[in-house]
Structure 1
């Protein structure tokens, strides 16, 4: 199954801190939710029942946190089997993971960058193909934010393109990560998006961040999406079409209505993109 095939419209990351508000909301103007399976596998009781109620009524995607696709430790196939069972149990078709690493004999606290080399392309692509075999699904990989480059034989965009081609997987495009990296590593964010292949983007993330300094941004998912990121999302739609897109907010959770406003802004941009496409083909 194509990654993102069951998704459409504008989505929101499901966090435990949002559940009570969502349960009492008179309406939920969200087309799909995304969750991290590691945070929910084996959860029962009240929270387990709440999740089941949501997955029975709404479309969901899974976004992994700990598979460490680029890491040196053996791929955690036991975790993948558990993820597949979880996805099958909840009727979830779509899975993504970060193009990074976070495990070498023990789980690390951050998603660490990969060297942009041919050797790493082969390493990651082989692990992605194995992941797809175990999950029985074509997956998407996310471009990560990073603060140092271990080694580079090619550009980040070239590295991503090579992984997508060799692994036969799709892209989860994090537009905020593109913006963060463009400031921290001084490149043109629009040109970066233009360098990515058309037809490979399964879905898109937008999020907020923290400005540590004028030339250093930290990807936090703890603030509202800013105007330059919205503008970059418009640029992505112009290149890839109105791809399913969701808001990530991990902490400093605002009232639910504020998140719904951001979800609604995604929907407006998608509608404008679709309308522009219709006019061009009229």
Structure 2
């Protein structure tokens, strides 16, 4: 059954922000996003706090450990636990990283994939299996990387091919596009323009760390920089406004500074005429 649309500017709900966000409302934050693995089975005070948020604001989930790009069998037990969590909290949409993160055990990192036709077919099949277990669509996210594995495709062609073969949607992480464009010397604007508009469900922006002039690290620990804001504006212009989430995982500033970044997202959205809300699925 379809549920209400999600619009506007959202924020990643981290435990370090629980206190600061207690009094937030839709005036500051349109929706929240959590990693289900960090909350499944959590009860007590923290569980009650999460329930209070999910009852007050729309909630999305962004997974960390499904291992869509890996070779180990998909963790069906984890998928079933995630399904239960999504149902428990009325989660509007669930996304996961287009990466590998396990090999018969969690690696606790997002590893790069070979951009190959073989990878496309294998990953698309794993997406379909995950969707069958979840009984809802799975959105995949383009990821940042610091090494490239052998493959006959470039990143944009690979992402497009997975979206087409799996017939799924994309969480377009604008900061990851910027980071990879520096790390691997490609045109970020052309990448954004090359994504099929119909495949984009929602977007992420975040800050990163400048390790070197030609090496950026996707940390989610700093404010969004001007080139990433510009790229987000270009994404809206090319594809229409999508719900957009601000990620901040540590180095938390005063909450007013995060609200100001959310306001900047809304300003860019307001400047674009065509708004395309995220349609999620409930149970």
Which TM-score bucket, shorter chain as reference? over 0.9
CA displacement 1:7-51 (0-9 Å, x = unmatched): 211100000011111114587511100000000000000000000
Q: CA deviation at 1:109?
A: 2.5
**Residue in 2 that maps onto 1:19:** 18
8 Å contact 1:6–1:94 — kept in the other structure? no
**Residue in 1 that maps onto 2:280:** none
**Residue in 1 that maps onto 2:80:** 81
When structure 1 is superposed on structure 2, of 126-135 and 227-236 the one drifting more is 126-135
Q: CA deviation at 1:274?
A: 1.8
1:72-221 maps to which residues of 2 (within 5 A)?
72-221=71-220
Residues 25 and 70 (structure 1 numbering): CA distance in 2 closer, same or farther, change over 3 Å? closer
**Residue in 1 that maps onto 2:7:** 8
**Residue in 1 that maps onto 2:279:** none
Question: So what's the TM-score if we normalise by structure 2?
Answer: 0.94
CA displacement 1:99-122 (0-9 Å, x = unmatched): 000100111121000000000001
Distance in 2 (alpha carbons) for counterparts of 1:105 and 1:20? 36
Give the number of equivalent residue pairs. 276
Distance in 1 (alpha carbons) for counterparts of 2:26 and 2:73? 44
Q: CA deviation at 1:6?
A: 3.2
8 Å contact 1:222–1:252 — kept in the other structure? yes
Residues 57 and 27 (structure 1 numbering): CA distance in 2 closer, same or farther, change over 3 Å? closer
Higher relative contact order (CA 8 A, sep 6+): 2
CA displacement 1:117-138 (0-9 Å, x = unmatched): 0000011000001111111111
Distance in 2 (alpha carbons) for counterparts of 1:25 and 1:35? 16
CA displacement 1:51-95 (0-9 Å, x = unmatched): 001000100100000000010110011101000100101111300
| Structure with the largest fraction of helix | 1
Residues 129 and 27 (structure 1 numbering): CA distance in 2 closer, same or farther, change over 3 Å? closer
> What SS class does the counterpart of residue 198 from structure 2 fall into?
coil
Once superposed, which parts of structure 1, at least 4 consecutive aligned residues long, lie more than 3 Å away? Answer: 24-28
CA displacement 1:158-202 (0-9 Å, x = unmatched): 101110011011000000000000001001000111111111110
When structure 1 is superposed on structure 2, of 111-120 and 145-154 the one drifting more is 145-154
Distance in 1 (alpha carbons) for counterparts of 2:36 and 2:100? 17
> What SS class does the counterpart of residue 211 from structure 1 fall into?
strand
> What SS class does the counterpart of residue 217 from structure 1 fall into?
strand
1:264-275 maps to which residues of 2 (within 5 A)?
264-274=263-273
**Residue in 2 that maps onto 1:280:** none
8 Å contact 1:12–1:248 — kept in the other structure? yes
Question: So what's the TM-score if we normalise by structure 1?
Answer: 0.94
RMSD of aligned C-alpha atoms?
1.8
